[in-house]
Amino acid sequence: MNKQFHTKLKEDTKPFHDLLESQTLPKKLYTLSITKEEYIKYLEIFLMIHICIEDEIVKFPQWESFGIDARRYLRKELLKQDLSLLGVNDVSSHTQQLKIDDFETALGYLYVLTGSTMGGMVLSKKVSEVFANTPYENANLYFNAFGVDTQKMFMEFMRTLEMYASSLSEDKKNNIIKGAKECYIFVKEGLENG
């Protein structure tokens, strides 16, 4: 039997994922050693990342035939709300140059952003823990993502992606994987240059 596309996508991109987990700010959050200022920096970096990627993703007309409304998966507003809870209201409009050329590459990017809600379920608890009994303990909306529907939303996306991929040529399938790798690199560079 052919390997599920999701299995291949996850396996091929695992080294990129693991590299992110060891970046300074994610590691500090995971180990509960992050300060309020560092957490603000983390959210500002991810806001820049989400703005760049989400603005590109929504441009594709193919979403309608793909079968999900990509706008339901966007999370830049949650980052702004967390920053506001932390007292940061004048969010910087600084963005990196990013151009996503085709729909399959965009699917790879959205896979990474949506998949990150899986680790987010762990990280959201870390935020409540590290800022327990401070006004910031609920500034975890970004990691909480879609609340009780978080896993369901990711599974819905993956089911739709699996179906879509089954009709694609190998080249186009590889473009999805390439998009996911590019996205991981974009996030890593964002964290490094923050």
Interface residue list for ligand HEM (CB under 6 A)? 10, 17, 20-21, 26, 30, 111-112, 115-116, 118-119, 122, 187
DSSP 140-189: -HHHHTTGGGHHHHHHHHHHHHHHHHTTS-HHHHHHHHHHHHHHHHHHHH
Residue number with CB closer to ligand HEM (46 or 63): 46
Q: How far is the CB of 49 from ligand HEM (least distance, A)?
A: 8
Least distance between ligand HEM and beta carbon 48 (Å): 13
Cα three-residue angle 42-152-121, rounded to 5 degrees: 30
Tokens of 126: 């870390």
Whichever of 26 and 179 has its CB closer to ligand HEM, that residue is: 26
Specify the residue, 79 or 112, whose C-beta has the smaller distance to ligand HEM.
112
Question: At residue 135, what are phi and psi to the nearest 5 degrees?
Answer: -65, -5
Of 10 and 172, CB closest to ligand HEM = 10
Cα 114 from chain centroid?
A: 5
Nearer to ligand HEM, 21 or 64 (CB): 21
Q: How far is the CB of 39 from ligand HEM (least distance, A)?
A: 13
Nearer to ligand HEM by C-beta: 64 or 72?
Answer: 72
Q: Which residue has the tokens 């089954």?
A: 166
Query: Min. distance of Cβ 60 from ligand HEM in angstroms?
Result: 19
Q: Which token pair is 188?
A: 């890593």
CB distance 58 to 74 below 8 Å: yes
For residue 48, the number of C-alpha atoms closer than 13 Å in the C-beta half-sphere is: 20
Q: Which among 31, 165, 183 is positioned nearest to 115, based on CA atoms?
A: 183
Q: How far is the CB of 17 from ligand HEM (least distance, A)?
A: 5
**Nearest approach, Cβ of residue 104 and ligand HEM (Å):** 16
